[in-house]
Amino acid sequence: MQALSPLDGRYRAKIDALAPYFSEESLNKARLEIEVRYFIALSKEGGVRELPKITASQEKALLLLIKKFNDKDAAAIKTIEKTTNHDVKAVEYFLKKQISKIKGLSKSVEFIHFGLTSEDVNNLSYGILISRALKNVVIPTTSDYVANIKKLASANRSVALLSLTHGQPATPTTLGKEMMVFVDRLNRQLAQLKSFKMHGKLGGAVGNFSAHKAAYPKVNWENFGKKFIKSLGLDPLTNTTQINPHDDIAECSHIMFRMNTISIDLSRDIWSYISRGVFGQKVIKGEVGSSTMPHKVNPIDFENAEGNFGLSNALFSHFAEKLPISRLQRDLSDSTVQRSVGVAFGYSLLATRSIQKGLGKLSVKKNVIKAELDAHPEVLGEAIQTVLRKNGVKNAYEKMKELTRGEKVTKKDLHAFVSGLKIPKEDKKRLEKLCR
């Protein structure tokens, strides 16, 4: 009840799937994982003679430190951090203590965090966490959401619908096609998200492997770094300063921003369709739409989605603008900003859950749709004037403009107009059918 953020308060249950990737405990676990895997990789590098190659049983024990990482371990790291006032160093000290307990490794603990800077650990930790969150939560959830829109589109592919352009009645469309517009748009972004890969940097204080080379000048550290980064499922960066320049997070943020924006567009369109009566909403027993107006069934799911997608976009936009900028070889202004990456994904997931819930409540009001179309026969003007143009009728557009623009016309008026036309019988018959 004392949560400062609504994501960790009111909405926690709805975004809980992201906790294993973006909580502080998860970040420290990822840091520990990077340090452990780096230690194992170092032990297998023949040129690092003072670190004996670890045995199979030692490697198993090391990997268990990652697998069995728990709340108690996380609390122990936080206790150390109270003294160090440095989170990565706290992980290092915690890990040294744990590794010293593994048989045969007590003399090798100084190879934990060997030659590294904090950003080597942090950027790789964020890299694996964001990659896993995309694969296990964001992409599957968004794919399900798009599948539901497609299902709505397929069920209504032939339902004729009055269009509104500039808010005014326009040429009819179909409800199914209008929904498929969003399916196609979201799928384009999903394809980019699926092919997207986080980057990885390893190279010490200014990206030159200077400390590594001082200790072991004959080791090809550049190749070692590339191999290690690839083993984590990340794309290696060749030339960097102290930090990963965060172009990867910026790229991911831009994709997420576009997906969120498309979903805001969908939320607003469905809100408008509900307002027009095109969609109805299922009444959930016990729910209240208004504290004073008992009849209300408000489109709150789409309104909530719009608001939360907007919050998410505000953060993703800031990440894309801020994170790729760092003074010279390093400043720390990126560090505090990166800590909120999970918040942006959290609001996006929350919004997606809302829009999913709203889609599940929709019912198509075909009688309302038909009545709306019947009330605006003037929208057939585009089709009529185009057929007239086809047949060389002079001033076809102007004739329809005079008949329909700003006027309340009926199908009877249009039928009478078509009946007086001198055009081929087949075209005339088709237009007369439209005007019935």
pLDDT at 286: 63
Residue 199, strand partner residues:
235
Tokens of 381: 């003007």
Which CATH fold topology does 12-114 show? Fumarase C; Chain B, domain 1 (1.10.275)
Return the amino acid letter for 138: V
| pTM of the predicted model over 0.85 | yes
* List of residues 6+ apart from 194 with CB closer than 8 A: 139
77 and 85 Cβ atoms separated by less than 8 Å: no
Residue 169, strand partner residues:
164
* Domain at 119-371, CATH homologous superfamily: Fumarase/aspartase (Central domain) (1.20.200.10)
pLDDT at 288: 63
Q: Residue 189's closest CA among 249, 262, 137?
A: 262
Q: For each successive 10 residues of the chain (436 residues), what is the average pLDDT?
A: 87 95 97 98 96 96 98 97 96 97 96 97 98 98 98 97 95 97 98 98 96 97 98 97 96 98 98 96 69 71 97 98 95 94 98 97 96 93 91 89 88 88 89 86
Q: Which residue has the tokens 């390093």?
A: 330
Tokens of 269: 């369109």
CATH 3.40.50.150 corresponds to the domain 376-434 = no
Instruction: Please confirm, yes or no, whether 312 is among the known catalytic residues.
Output: no
Q: Residue 43's closest CA among 109, 102, 118?
A: 109
* Bridge-based pairing state of the strands 362-364 and 235-236: unpaired
* Bridge-based pairing state of the strands 160-165 and 199-200: unpaired
Beta strand extents in 314-400 (DSSP E only): 362-364
pLDDT at 38: 98
* Bridge-based pairing state of the strands 168-174 and 160-165: antiparallel
Distance of alpha carbon 357 from alpha carbon 368, whole angstroms: 23
Tokens of 258: 């576009």
pLDDT at 377: 92
pLDDT at 207: 95
Q: Which residue has the tokens 């770094």?
A: 225
Instruction: Please confirm, yes or no, whether 57 is among the known catalytic residues.
Output: no
pLDDT at 399: 86
pLDDT at 432: 87
**Residue 226 CA: distances (Å) to CA of 143, 144, 202:** 32, 35, 8
Domain ranges in the chain? 12-114, 119-371, 376-434
Catalytic residue of the set 100, 210, 275, 290: 290
Catalytic residue of the set 158, 166, 195, 295: 166
What does 165-209 look like in DSSP terms, one character per residue?
Answer: ETTEEEEEEEHHHHHHHHHHHHHHHHHHHHH---EE---STTSS-
Residue 200, strand partner residues:
236
Distance of alpha carbon 73 from alpha carbon 273, whole angstroms: 52
